[in-house]
Structure 1
Amino acid sequence: MRNISDTSVKIECGERIAQGIFTKYLVADVDDVTNEQRAGGVGSTGK
């Protein structure tokens, strides 16, 4: 927890506090994803 202000803050025992971090993220716009069933292969359960 960081206090980047010039004002001191005292947090009492049992007091509820929260902290969050906002960050950018990218979302891929992919249209060519296939949903094919796989059969066999290493570790296959055969189901």
Structure 2
Amino acid sequence: KEYNNGEPERRGEPAAKYQERVASLKDDVNRSEKNVEALRRELGNLK
């Protein structure tokens, strides 16, 4: 929800801080997507 499709809500923070937060959220999303892909591969190997 916080990620808001790559456009997180601004919280009155400086632009640099906002960019850091966006980058961190993107990293979190990418990591989660990779984890899901890995789990799907593992489950596929069990069949």
Shorter-chain TM-score category? under 0.3
Instruction: Say which structure, 1 or 2, has more relative contact order (CA 8 Å, 6+ apart).
Output: 2
Q: Which is helix-richer, 1 or 2?
A: 2
Larger Rg: 1
- TM-score normalised per structure 2: 0.21
TM-score, length of structure 1 as denominator length: 0.21
